[in-house]
């Protein structure tokens, strides 16, 4: 059996679904991840997985679309299991990422130390990595990342993750760790790998050649009130050549981008407020100048990403993916799913989900796809 195994099912009864998945994954995995549509009873899934795999670290996440061995799916249940040969894993549940996440810092310290991660290492980038899965709808991802990063003396500890979803209902999202679940917190999985890993971020946007300066914002609430000294919606609509009333029907393909090392880190609009302010999926800071972006050819970008990603490995055991909800919706509207899945199914033991945000190291991202692969890296 492979060191990483992935499977997906559309069976709707929780026990039957878990039993079916168990046939194709490890009997006693070191780590088991599951990604579930809200068409399932999440507490039933948590109970079934915990009973079926009592010796495993188990983390579950609700989604807005699942990713399995053949690519994008929805209203399904996907799972990925890791053999102990991949490394050591220790998961912990944060119960509050929005109000007082700092109170859970010691729990993170203890969990990392339990795995043997030296928090004061001068080469912390070589000491392991973490998966993070925050709940959505709490605007807490940046705070969660800040607390996780704060336990290390040096910057650079690799962090990879995605925000839980709820099939675009925007009501409640769930994350579980070893039988416990939360709608206000998140999961952190510290990993001490025995194999190589590599992370890639896909951004399929480029600049429109238009910039805006954020002149009034509340990052805590993720609200931008003014751009260029005027109401945010008015400025954004003018830049896109549409009316303010039509803005939220046209902004999905035009996130704002912060350029760093020749790449864009996207901030996507979420909601238009009556005052003319715009709420985003991530924090946007007053005083920053951002570029308005436009999409590149999504199929071409996916092909480039997969080629680049797989060329880093001589052996690739499995891949975990976090893909933004807005990308999923774009691919569906443009009828690209079949072509996308032709590319994605090239990745061995693929699993993951479409998310309400993506996390990479210290950053909360939007309209991005993150891939992490485990295996043997090609010598540079």
What are the tens digits of pLDDT across the range 9-55?
999 999 999 999 999 999 999 999 999 999 999 999 999 999 999 99
pTM: 0.96
E-only strand ranges, 122-241: 129-134, 159-162, 175-177, 180-182, 186-193, 196-202, 205-218, 223-227, 230-231
Query: Residue 23 class from Cβ within 10 Å (0-12 exposed, 13-18 middle, 19+ buried)?
Result: exposed
- Count of H helices and E strands in the chain? 8, 26
Give pLDDT, residue 170.
96
Give pLDDT, residue 263.
86
Is pLDDT at 71 greater than 80 in this prediction? Answer: yes
| Per-residue confidence band for 267, with pLDDT thresholds at 50, 70 and 90 | very high
Give pLDDT, residue 42.
98
3-state secondary structure of 133: strand
Tokens found for residue 17: 């679904």
Distances (CA, A) of 156 to 91, 111, 376: 20, 18, 21
Tokens 């996308």 label which residue?
340
Distances (CA, A) of 164 to 51, 174, 258, 354: 23, 7, 24, 8
Give pLDDT, residue 69.
98
């Amino acid at each position: 059996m492979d060191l990483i195994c992935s499977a997906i099912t559309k069976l709707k009864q929780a026990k039957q679904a878990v039993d079916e998945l168990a046939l194709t994954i490890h009997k006693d995995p070191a780590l088991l991840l599951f990604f579930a549509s809200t068409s399932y009873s999440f507490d039933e899934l948590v109970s079934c997985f915990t009973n079926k795999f009592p010796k495993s670290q188990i983390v579950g996440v609700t989604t807005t679309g699942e990713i399995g061995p053949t690519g994008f799916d929805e209203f399904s249940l996907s799972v990925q299991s890791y053999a102990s040969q991949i490394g050591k894993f220790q998961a912990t549940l944060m119960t509050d990422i929005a109000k007082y996440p700092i109170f859970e810092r010691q729990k993170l310290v203890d969990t990392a130390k339990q795995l043997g991660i030296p928090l004061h290492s001068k080469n912390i980038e070589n000491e392991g990595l973490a998966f993070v899965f925050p709940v959505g709808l709490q605007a807490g991802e940046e705070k969660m990342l800040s607390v996780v990063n704060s336990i290390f003396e040096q910057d650079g500890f690799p962090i990879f993750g995605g925000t839980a979803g709820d099939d675009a209902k925007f009501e409640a999202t769930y994350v579980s760790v070893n039988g416990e679940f939360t709608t206000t917190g998140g999961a952190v999985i510290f990993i001490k790998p025995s194999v190589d890993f590599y992370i890639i971020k896909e951004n399929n946007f480029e600049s429109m050649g238009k910039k805006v300066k954020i002149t009034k914002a509340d990052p805590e609430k993720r609200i931008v009130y003014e751009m260029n000294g005027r109401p945010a919606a008015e400025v954004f609509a003018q830049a896109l050549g549409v009316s303010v009333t039509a803005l939220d029907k046209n902004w999905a393909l035009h996130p704002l981008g912060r350029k760093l090392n020749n790449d864009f880190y996207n901030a996507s609009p979420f909601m238009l407020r009556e005052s003319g302010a715009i709420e985003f999926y991530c924090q946007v800071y007053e005083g920053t100048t951002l570029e308005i972006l436009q999409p590149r050819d999504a199929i071409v970008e996916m092909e480039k990403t997969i080629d680049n990603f797989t060329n880093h490995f001589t052996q690739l055991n499995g891949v975990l993916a976090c893909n933004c909800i807005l990308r999923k919706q774009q691919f569906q509207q443009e009828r690209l799913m079949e072509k996308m899945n032709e590319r994605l199914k090239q990745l061995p033991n693929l699993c993951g989900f479409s998310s309400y945000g993506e996390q990479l190291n210290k950053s909360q991202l939007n309209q991005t796809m993150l891939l992490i692969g485990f295996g043997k890296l090609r010598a540079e």
